[in-house]
Amino acid sequence: RSEYDTTLQAMAVGVAGDLRQANWVIPEALCQTRIYPNLVKSKGGPVAYIVVDSMRYEMGVELRDQLSDADELALQAAVAAIPTITPIGMAALLPGASASFSVTEDEAKLAAEVDGSKLTDLSSRLKFLTSRVPGVVDMELGKLLDATKRQIEKRIVGAPLVVIRSQDIDAFGESGSNRVARQVIDTAIGNVARAVRKLADSGIENFVICADHGHLFTSARDESMRIESPGGETIDLHRRCWVGRGGVTPQGTIRISGAELGYRSNLDFVFPAGIAVFKSGGDLAYNHGGLSLQELLVPVLMVRM
C-alpha cells in the first residue's frame, strides 16, 4: 500500500471514530439539508443553483480561486447526508429537506424521503423540485456550455431558480479508466467556472455552488482491502456502504442504525471503518458512499457576479 493510502486509511479510521463519539452529528457544521433554505431560498431573487456531483472540498477551494474576480465570494464546508451516494445527497439539497429528510426504501429500492415524498432517481427528484418551485429551470452543465447567450437568455427568462447539474466527475470516476478520470476531474472545475460566467453574462447575479458528496481516489486496492458484504436482507450495496437489515458486521466495519442517523426507518447501514471496499464489483480506485472526510465534507460556494 502506498504512503498516501496509508495516510488516508488512518484519517478515515480517525474520522469514523470521532463521528461515533459525536453520535454521528457535527452540530457546528452546516448540514447539507440546510443549504437550500439558508443559502438559496434566502436570496429572494433569480439564483443559479449549481450542483456538481462528487466535488470534494479542495475542488471548491480551486473553484473559488478561479472566480476571484467576483463581486462577492464566500466558501464554507457542509457535511453531506449519510450514506454519501448520489440519490441521497441530491435529495438532501432539495427544498423541504431541512424540515423532513430520511433514508428509507420504496418497493425494495433505497430511497430518500423529503416532505413525505420518496425519491429514488433523477426523474422523481426533478418532479419533486418542480412541484416545490414553480418555474424552475433545469439544465445539464454540458448543454449550458454549448448554448449561445441568446439561447440561455430565452431559456432562463423569468425563472426564479436555475438548477445546473454537472456529473462529469462522478461519471468519469466510475468509468474505470483512472488516467482519463483524473484528467477530467482536473478540467471539471474550470467548466463550472465557465458556466458561472456564461450565466452571469445572461443576467444571473447570484450563485450557490455545492455537491451531493465527495469521493476517495486511491491507488488500486489489493485483496486485503476488499471486505465481504454483510449479507442479510440487502436493500442497496455500494463499494463503500451496505444498506439493509440483519446480516453480519464484518471485521473492520461500522454498523449504524437508521434511528442513530435520525432517519425514520428500520434500515441498518454498514461502512468500512477505513478506506476498504465491499466486494461489489466496479472500479477500486474511485469510490464514495462511506464516512471518510473526503466523502463527507463538501464545498458550498456563494458567488455574486
Average pLDDT over residues 189-214: 97
Residue 98 has pLDDT above 90, yes or no: yes
CA 235 to chain centre: 20
pLDDT at 155 (0 to 100): 96
List the beta strands (DSSP E) in 38-174: 47-52, 72-79, 101-106, 109-114, 117-119, 137-140, 161-166
pLDDT at 220 (0 to 100): 59
pLDDT at 93 (0 to 100): 98
Mean pLDDT of all residues in the chain?
92
- For 258-288, write each residue's pLDDT tens digit: 999 999 999 999 999 999 999 877 666 888 9
The pLDDT-based confidence of 1 (bands split at 50, 70, 90) is low
Residue pair 277/240 in contact by the 8 Å Cβ criterion: yes
The pLDDT-based confidence of 221 (bands split at 50, 70, 90) is low
- For 68-91, write each residue's pLDDT tens digit: 999 999 999 999 999 999 999 999
The pLDDT-based confidence of 179 (bands split at 50, 70, 90) is low
The pLDDT-based confidence of 129 (bands split at 50, 70, 90) is very high
pTM of the model: 0.94
Q: How many helices, marked H, and strands, marked E, lie in the chain? A: 10, 18
Residue 149 has pLDDT above 70, yes or no: yes
Comparing CA positions, the residue from 119, 32, 24 lying closest to residue 81 is 32
Residue 181 has pLDDT above 80, yes or no: no
CA 126 to chain centre: 16
pLDDT at 201 (0 to 100): 97
